[in-house]
Amino acid sequence: MKRRINFIHPLLIFIFMQVAWISLLGLWIYWYVSNYIIINQVGQRLVPTVTASPRTQLFALIFGLFLLVFILAGFYFIFIYLTRQININRLYETFIANFTHELKSPLASIQLYLETLQRRNVSKEKQREFVDQMLNDTQRLKQVIDSILDISQIEQKKKIFDLKPQPIQSTVNSLLNNCKERFKLDQETLIVKGKVKGYWLVDQAAMQMVFSNLLDNALKYSPDHTPVTIRLLQEKQRFCIEFIDQGIGIEKEAQKHIFQKFYRVSAPYMPDIRGTGLGLYLVKEIVKAHFGQITVKSEGINKGTTFRLCFPLKRTLKEFKSETEKL
């Protein structure tokens, strides 16, 4: 079936408007240039004193052009603003569907386990397994709800990060150990490389959210049992942590958008994986609050992804003290 073009689409209206204005401008300039000499000569012959001086006419033309350009620019900005709003609304609608699914599916799973425990005679071993699964589901629910609350607090500038100077290596180890436990990883599935000496300012609870989100993504968007590598790199004034996976990768175009709120890659190569599109947005905001930067690198589909976080470091605890004394 042939697709009909919708002529009332805002983009088409906008293009028509631009063409109309630019044509008018062209016509105006053409008219001015071709008629200026004749009008001037006739005017001079009929009423020599009344015709405007060439300077005034030129000024009127330039001022008119300036106004037109100003109006065009105004239209352009309004258009960009509206398109952004439309995109946000579209993303928001899919977010609601994804978010509801993220809440419903662990709840349904918990309900199923509880009903089985209530109605059947389940062995001690199975009971333990069910409880583990239910704890996993509650953890998943907690993460989704915490993300929403944190984002809302950050956006309203109400989130207070409890930044404290901590030794880098031991904090990173402890954050990774928590992740290992949560995602049931061992030394083969979570490979840690590199060491860093020094101290950083960190809110451990918030940084746990960052590590959990990045590791969750690295596992979610990779085939089962593919190892994830964490690499620590030390530089003079800062250190970096890389989360390297060997998963489905991210196309260059999508890499520009993945830190936007609600954004999820939707492409034919993308398997049906649960998510809300909030994780990386929250990660970026938390990293920013730690005076850090986050970047993404992927050579393309099925070539894995690397997220790199870099934070300022101090060699000794005293450096923090002398800095706070200066303030």
| Footprint on this chain of ligand ADP (rule: CB under 6 A) | 213, 217-218, 221, 245, 247-248, 250, 258, 263-265, 275-281, 305
Contacts of 183 (CB under 8 A, 6+ apart): 190, 215, 216, 219
The distance of closest approach from Cβ of residue 36 to ligand ADP in the complex, given in angstroms and rounded to an integer, is 59
Q: Which is nearer to ligand ADP, 167 or 227 (CB)?
A: 227
Q: Quick check: 190 and 211 in contact, CB under 8 A?
A: no
Q: Which is nearer to ligand ADP, 284 or 290 (CB)?
A: 284
Contacts of 258 (CB under 8 A, 6+ apart): 250, 265, 280, 296
Q: Quick check: 235 and 180 in contact, CB under 8 A?
A: no
Q: Which is nearer to ligand ADP, 264 or 290 (CB)?
A: 264
Q: Which is nearer to ligand ADP, 198 or 277 (CB)?
A: 277
The distance of closest approach from Cβ of residue 95 to ligand ADP in the complex, given in angstroms and rounded to an integer, is 10
The distance of closest approach from Cβ of residue 91 to ligand ADP in the complex, given in angstroms and rounded to an integer, is 11
The distance of closest approach from Cβ of residue 221 to ligand ADP in the complex, given in angstroms and rounded to an integer, is 3
| Tokens, residue 312 | 């300022």
Q: Helices H, strands E: what count in the chain?
A: 8, 7
Q: Which is nearer to ligand ADP, 307 or 311 (CB)?
A: 307
Contacts of 32 (CB under 8 A, 6+ apart): 61
Q: How far apart are CA 67 and CA 306, in angstroms?
A: 49
Contacts of 227 (CB under 8 A, 6+ apart): 188, 189, 190, 191, 246
The distance of closest approach from Cβ of residue 291 to ligand ADP in the complex, given in angstroms and rounded to an integer, is 22
Amino acid at 311: F
Q: Which is nearer to ligand ADP, 95 or 113 (CB)?
A: 95
Q: Which is nearer to ligand ADP, 190 or 201 (CB)?
A: 190
Task: For 231-269, give one letter per residue: b (16+ CB within 10 A) or e.
Answer: ebeeeeebbbbbbbbbbbbbeeebbeebbebbbbbeeee
The distance of closest approach from Cβ of residue 88 to ligand ADP in the complex, given in angstroms and rounded to an integer, is 15
The distance of closest approach from Cβ of residue 222 to ligand ADP in the complex, given in angstroms and rounded to an integer, is 7
